[in-house]
Amino acid sequence: MKYVRIYSGPMRINLSFLLVLSLFFNCVNSPKEPEPITLIPKVKSLTVNDGVYELNQNIKINSLELFDDVVSYLESYLKSSNFLVSKTTNSSDIIFKQDTSITNEEGYVLDVNQNGVIIKASTIKGAFYAVQTLRQLLPNALENGSYKAKQLALSYLHIEDAPVFSYRGMHLDVSRHMFPVAFIKKQLDAMALLKLNTFHWHLTDDQGWRIEIKKYPKLTSVGSQRKQTLVGHKRNKPEVYDGKPYGGFYTQEDIKEIVAYAEARQITIIPEIEMPGHSMAAITAYPELSCSEGPFKVREKWGVEKHIFCPTETTFKFLEDVLDEVISLFPSVYIHIGGDEAPKEEWENSVFCQALIKSKGLKDTHELQSYFISRMEAYLNSKGRQIIGWDEILEGGLASNATVMSWRGFNGAIEAAKIGNPVVVAPNQFCYLDHYQSRSASEPLAIGGFLPLKKVYMFNPIPEQLTKAQSQLIKGAQACVWTEYMPESSHVEYMVYPRLLALSEVVWFNEKDRDFKDFQSRVDSFFQRLEVMEFNHANHLYKVEGQVNFKEKMTISLNNFSDFPVHYTTDGTPPNEESKVYTKPVAVNGDMHLKAASFNASGKIKDSEYEETVTLSKAFGAKVEIAPKPNKKYKGSGYKSLVDGILGDSERFKDKQWLGFQGTDVFVDLQLNKPKELQVFKTRFNNAKGNWIYAPRSVRVEVYSADHKLLFNKSKIIQPSDERHVNFKMALNGITGQFVKVYIEGFGIMPDKKLINSQVIKGAKTWTFLDEFILE
Ligand code: TNX
């Protein structure tokens, strides 16, 4: 779909008038032309031919019993816009044929020609995906029954298609926050549209047990309820709670309904019952499942919980009973048993666990975890099911048939594939849709990270380290939607769409050379379908982003990801179509308040605005030297980000302004372009202790004259604090100097024990993060 660019007012009115007129005719009369083709995920091959096939309101379908469910699906889809289906055995509009030469069970061939629509597949799955492609070829208005014309037009075409990966998934955490049955169904519908076939349903965790288990009613009466919930980011101190009880669960009836809904869309639901960690809700309901005394409460904040299931016979019996009911509800061969983030401290200190380790001839608590998982695996295998677990199930020895879900990067995937076990990849840096999708300060609070649409699109599920044979074990990938910071359904959708579109193309198509521009233009028109389906998708595609550059001079360049023109102002007023059009980087010569946005034919695009405030100090223009170099992940926009007049983001340290160093002191040398009268030196240190970032212990400032004579020399101790940031100020008493040297004594080793990859360790190195250096 191409947009027409128009800048002048009157012309726009003419165009909108035409648009309304054409929409009017489109509604009443037959469509003159088929829809422009927008397919996501991209199909393997597509040829469009001359000619159009028209379907009228009585659509004849010729099919086989094998495809009955797909035909019923299509029938109800069309019926909502008054297209009625009747089955025939002779000449038809839509013909389904079985073709066993199509070797991929999810593959299909779709033809539109003078004989109508012909769908070939070897199984019902392939036929279903052909229908999803057909759905995308038909007008968006069919999605909500608002299509009013009496005909549907389809271009003649030939499509051959099949997925690259057999596991194409989305995960949803309903423990931290819970979402209505209708919402789950709506997501399943979008998944079907995107040809995703696995919904990983994270039903239990520390913050709430959400699946009814008849044998253990307290799991829901107690375990599904928490007294209150943390407000804001988990690293904020002091902690603030909302004081509101939160709870809920899915009844077994709800679950049956959802499973059936998924089945009709060729989606398998893999339920996850977390063990041995992330089990505080269950332990609160049944304290005998723990090795310790408690007291226990359903967790009210995020993060890793130290109380975990105790590997007693009571616990195993409990879990087997729970899994019996889970199995009866979910036909999936795979059952997810979690396995992640289970701190071993409690097992280390438990007399029972130590005795068990001895009696089973195990080495340590890691082997005890492996014993735990293997026992549950054997139980599930005896019921004809297989386990999937997060990559921690590799620690202490992998259960034999287990599939590993690799989330801490690719290491788990590589290790498991080398041993010969199947793998699903969900590396957090590419697949965690709880990460930020833009650097803008106006983003709703998220857990952290930075995962823009393009990064998801560029993701390759096959780690380079694997041989061809080993890569066969990579069954696919999934998006993970952890909902600590997503209390509302609409917020979940904001985080999921359009990034799930990118993931769907990765797992269905996995093209070597990816054309993001092409994808982006398809997303742009796909948005219209999502809007008809009432999805609250994010709009970053149109977002303007800025980048600070230093060549000879400081400039800010603006990028947008669409073809729409960007208009900007430098005085803080909102940009409009009369504002300057951006053509080249904007020079920064003094204080400035830059605002920019993209504009389409109907005006400023929602959520596209970019804003940057530059407040230059006497340090601006200085030559900056830093030793040692900042960590390569946190190097801002270069050394000059210390003196560019732009403050770092107060919430996020992973922006273009903060400079990060780990486990070291830092020396900064500012060389002003001429001697200046200096009253004060100011800066700000990040103190996000939850992320191991600590304000330094002390700072020394020295000022030298133009001829390198020491004029000023003073140190200051920084008092430890729980604030997110620590402001630092040193009076310089109006001396005239040219060289300012700042020695920063890093915090050093972490004072507390910390969790690293779910192990409690001591002695980790802290980080120092520097914000703007201001000289007044
Ligand atoms: C880690 S991924 C977790 C979850 C959190 C998530 C937040 C995994 C197996 N465990 O409990 O919700 O990070 O991104």
Place 3 in a pLDDT band, splitting at 50, 70 and 90: very low
- Of 590, 614, 638, the position where a domain reaches its end is 614
Residues contacting ligand 1 via CB (< 6 Å): 340-341, 390, 407, 432, 434, 447, 482, 484
- Residue with the nearest Cα to atom 14 of ligand 1? 482
- In a 10 Å sphere around its CB, with 0-12 CB exposed, 13-18 middle and 19+ buried, how is residue 505 labelled? buried
pLDDT of residue 524: 86
- The arithmetic mean of pLDDT across residues 320-326, rounded, is 98
Statement: residue 85 has pLDDT above 60: yes
DSSP characters over 594-615: EEEEEEETTEEPTT--EEEEE-
Give the C-alpha distances (Å, rounded to integers) separating 723 from 51, 515, 645, 683, 687: 67, 44, 23, 15, 7
**Ligand 1 midpoint to CA 340 (Å):** 8
Count of domains in the chain?
Answer: 4
Residue 9 confidence (pLDDT) above 90: no
Q: Which two tokens stand for residue 419?
A: 């041993």
Upstream peptide bond of 271 is cis (omega within 30 degrees of 0): no
Q: Residue 122: which CATH number?
A: 3.30.379.10
Question: Lowest-pLDDT range, 15-19, 211-215, 221-225, 554-558?
Answer: 15-19
Which are the contacts of 624, defined by CB distance < 8 A and separation ≥ 6? Answer: 639, 640, 642, 643, 668, 669, 670, 671
Predicted confidence at residue 10, as pLDDT, reads: 31
Asked whether residue 484 falls in the same domain as residue 586, the answer is no
Helix then strand then coil, % of the chain, to nearest 5:
25, 30, 40
Mean pLDDT of 615-643: 91
The residue among 342, 340, 229, 205 whose CA lies nearest residue 280 is 205
In tens, the pLDDT along 27-42 reads: 444 555 888 899 999 9
Pair 632, 591 in one domain: no
**Taking Cα atoms as reference points, which of 308, 278, 286 lies closest to residue 208?**
278
Written as one letter, the residue type at 537 is H
CA of 482 to the centre of ligand 1 (A): 7
Q: Which residue(s) pair with 98 in the sheet?
A: 121
Contacts of 457 (CB under 8 A, 6+ apart): 502, 505, 506, 514, 516, 519
The beta strands (E) that lie in 262-420 are given as 268-275, 334-338, 386-390, 403-406
Whether 655 and 695 map to the same domain: the answer is: yes
**Please, what is the average pLDDT of the chain?**
92
**Domain for residue 255, yes or no?**
yes
Question: Are 19 and 94 in the same domain?
Answer: yes
d(CA 299, ligand 1 centre) in Å: 15
Report the catalytic residues.
205, 278, 341
Looking at the structure, tell me whether residues 106 and 177 fall in a common domain: no
Range with lowest mean pLDDT among 44-53, 127-136, 233-242, 574-583: 233-242
Q: Measured from the CA of 341, which atom of ligand 1 is nearest?
A: 10
For 174-219, what is each residue's pLDDT tens digit? 999 999 999 999 999 999 999 999 999 999 999 999 999 999 999 9
Rounded Cα distance, 285 and 212, in Å: 13
Per-residue pLDDT band at 5 (split at 50, 70, 90): very low
Whether 461 and 378 share a structural domain: yes
Query: At 470, which CATH number?
Result: 3.20.20.80
Q: Which helix (H) or strand (E) holds 198?
A: strand 198-202
Enclosing domain of residue 598: 545-614
Judgement on whether residues 91 and 199 belong to the same structural domain of the protein: no
Per-residue pLDDT, 12 = 34
Cβ contacts of 340 within 8 Å, gap of 6 or more: 274, 277, 278, 389, 390, 391, 392, 407, 758
247, β-bridge pairs: 225
Closest by Cα among 690, 679, 696 to 770 = 696
Q: At what angle do helices 181-193 and 124-137 cross, to 10 degrees?
A: 90
Report d(CA 586, CA 423) in Å as an integer.
48
Instruction: Return phi, psi of residue 208, to 5°.
Output: 165, 135
Say yes or no to pLDDT of 756 above 80: no
How does strand 152-161 pair with strand 108-113?
antiparallel
| Domain end among 161, 177, 198 | 161
CA of 495 to the centre of ligand 1 (A): 16
> Is 21's pLDDT higher than 70?
no
pLDDT in the model for residue 106: 98
Residues 477 and 499: their CA atoms lie apart, in Å, by 14
In this structure, the strands spanning 167-173 and 474-481 are: parallel
pLDDT of residue 546: 87
In this prediction the pTM is 0.84
Which residues, other chains included, contact 577 with Cβ-Cβ below 8 Å and sequence gap of 6+?
A: 7, 567, 599, 603
Pocket-testing residue among 230, 304, 340, 406, ligand 1, by greatest number of atoms within 8 A of Cβ: 340
Q: How many CA atoms lie within 13 A of 96 on its CB side?
A: 28
Full 3-state SS string of 680-693: EEEEEEECCHHHCE
| Domain limit, last residue, from 133, 161, 189 | 161
The predicted-structure confidence for 157-183, as pLDDT tens digits, reads as follows 999 999 999 999 999 999 999 999 999
Strand order through the sheet with 58-62: 45-55, 152-161, 108-113, 116-121, 94-98, 58-62, 84-87
Q: By alpha-carbon position, which residue is closest to atom 8 of ligand 1?
A: 340
**Residue identifier of the C-alpha nearest atom 7 of ligand 1:** 482
Rounded Cα distance, 537 and 717, in Å = 48
Is the separation of the CB atoms in 244 and 236 below 8 Å?
Answer: no
The alpha carbon of 428 and the centre of ligand 1 are apart by a number of angstroms equal to 9
- Quick one: 133 and 155 in the same domain? yes
Could you tell me the two tokens for 421? Answer: 């076990």
Query: What is the per-residue pLDDT for 561?
Result: 67
